[in-house]
Amino acid sequence: YLRGLAYDQYNGRSWSHSRTRLRSLGLVAEGTFFARPPGSLSLPIIRQDILLETLDTAVLFAAPFAELVSGEFLSVQADAMSGLHLPSPPSSRLRYSVTSQVPQLLAEERTATALDYPDAVRSHYLQVPAGLQQIEDLAHHVVQGVATPFGQTMAIQRHLLDNYRYSLDADQATLSHPLEEFLFTRKTGYCEHYATAMVVMLRTLGIPARLVTGFLATEWNEYGGYFTVRQRDAHAWVEVYFPRS
């Protein structure tokens, strides 16, 4: 997964960012920027060397979660949800490197029946629009008998994978209630429909989550030793908050 932007606010039809203010990253060395402090845990590290063709975006894509970013640019910015940005879209292909910490879920968070969520997390990642009682009822039905937030997360994921069909032809942009149409009528959709459904269902259960967009790297070149990522590999997925991960 090459992470681009995260979204925290859903209005029933589309996603948006509520926290768009950017902060400039500090320099560690010439051309190397400090994206986030290392966690308290000893986490696996992934280094990526990325050649990004010209896109109409200032976003830098990287495996989550970027710790160091280096390249031939004067500054790098970050948003409040760990998205990386250049001051403006590059006018030519861009080569850069990223060192990322791979998040790991602690064993005690898998088995905990309750988790302590900070107020800032609850205020941003539990928002749902009004009028979603049918979706909330479905979420409670799916997790019936499951006692832990981790187990409930996995139960919702499994429900969506087992009971809905993936299709790129399932355009629901013109629908007034696209999420309800996906969950209860068409039961066919693509990654953004699945991710939206999972985030909203988790939030109705009190589990903080957000939608993330980027690219899914699957085309491995075994001779060159690299992934080729194309526009058709654009993807959306879910990040679920666990306090110590």
Go through 189-205 and write b for each residue having 16 or more CB atoms within 10 A of its CB, e for each that does not: bbbbbbbbbbbbbbbbb
- Please give the pLDDT value at position 42: 73
Give the DSSP per-residue string, 72-116: S-S--EE-TTS-EE-SS--SS-EEEEEEEEPP---HHHHH-S---
| The pair of three-digit structure tokens given for residue 29, joined into one six-digit string | 């060395």
- Please give the pLDDT value at position 36: 82
**Looking at 37-46, 114-123, 131-140, which range is the least confident one?**
37-46
- Strands (DSSP E) along the chain, which ranges? 2-7, 9-10, 15-16, 23-24, 26-29, 32-34, 45-52, 59-60, 66-71, 77-78, 84-85, 94-101, 165-166, 188-189, 209-215, 219-221, 226-228, 234-240
- Please give the pLDDT value at position 40: 55
pLDDT tens digits along 32-68:
999 987 655 677 899 999 999 988 899 999 999 999 9
What average pLDDT does this structure show over 147-154? Answer: 98
- Please give the pLDDT value at position 38: 65
* Mean pLDDT value across the chain: 93
CA angle, corner 117, sides to 113 and 118, nearest 5? 160
